[in-house]
Amino acid sequence: MEWTDISITVAKRDADTAEAIATMVANGGIYIEDYSDLEEQAWEIAHVDLIEQELLDKPRDVVIVHMYLAPDENPAEILPLFEERLKASGIAYQLNTAGVEQEDWQNAWKKYYHAMDIGERLAIVPGWEKYDTGRTVITMDPGMAFGTGTHETTSLCLEMLDRLVQGSERVLDIGTGSGILAIAALKLGAREAEGVDIDPMCVRTAGENAERNGVSDRFRVLVGDLSDKASGRYDLITANIVASAILSLAPHVPALMAPGAQFIASGIIDERKEEVLDGLRAAGLTAVEVQEKRGWVCIRCEQKDV
């Protein structure tokens, strides 16, 4: 069967940003071509210094991030999302697509994706697996929308929600993806949630996941951006997106925060931590907690005292 290979070519310095964007919607996995330290890697991995000329001729100043779409997934739905997020990031890029024959990767996921405990109260469980636990279970299968709990940015957010949700909160999830953060908050006791995403495919997926987890009556998912879809004020606001998008939306967040509200920003590579912290501060938000995991950063903020 033929899968679609979507490749993003960027300068080496922008590799982390491109990888973060690809990760947001990856399903079949991500493969990164980076030959900048080819000789060193060859020696460390295989203890050889004899390398094929074809590899030696590869460019050293660019990185290619590959992402794979299953045969039943429509690239026309995914490519605009990539374009939107790549343009918002401000980096130069080249986007290409190609067909590739491959095994049944959709089922191969099941070898690697298993139930996992997160924080003190949550468990993320794939639909095909039975998991005997007293924790609050979120049923989530790998899909085209980002957010199954396996990625560091998502798990950092879930760990914060696990500690913060006490019950009866109103939640806004910006860039909702799979809807996992809003669903987690609802199953932990939040009163209601709204999810906003620019991609209609993500909105459909989030709605399906809400139905699967029995919270669809309290979860409203909308296509659009923060400025024209959010309504009223919220006790918890989450944004697991990318640094550039967080910096762009930050000035609009304080007006959406109820008294004592918390804003959780994630999807930030560690190299941009200070830049994001400065942007949040300039927007009237105070960072009260910063958590990091394997190169990714999650920031919890409160509104500055007026």
Could you give the CA distance from residue 196 to residue 208 in angstroms, rounded to a whole number?
15
Exposure of 24 in the CB half-sphere (CA atoms within 13 A): 31
Whether 97 has a binding-site annotation, put simply, is no
Range list of β-strands (E), the chain? 2-11, 30-34, 62-69, 93-101, 116-118, 122-125, 136-139, 170-174, 192-197, 219-223, 234-240, 257-269, 285-293, 296-303
Could you give the CA distance from residue 152 to residue 296 in angstroms, rounded to a whole number?
7
CA distances from 199 to 77, 86, 132, 171 (A): 8, 14, 35, 20
Whether 175 has a binding-site annotation, put simply, is yes
Whether 240 has a binding-site annotation, put simply, is yes
Helical axes 180-187 vs 152-164, angle rounded to 10°: 20
Could you give the CA distance from residue 244 to residue 226 in angstroms, rounded to a whole number?
15
Could you give the CA distance from residue 129 to residue 151 in angstroms, rounded to a whole number?
19
Closest CA relative to residue 282, chosen from 259, 252, 257: 252
Could you give the CA distance from residue 32 to residue 9 in angstroms, rounded to a whole number?
10
> In 3-state terms, what secondary structure has residue 271?
helix
Whether 17 has a binding-site annotation, put simply, is no
Q: How many helices (H) and strands (E) does the chain have?
A: 11, 14
Asked if residues 100 and 67 have their Cβ atoms less than 8 Å apart, the reply is no
Annotated binding site: 154, 175, 197, 240
Annotated binding site for S-adenosyl-L-methionine: 154, 175, 197, 240
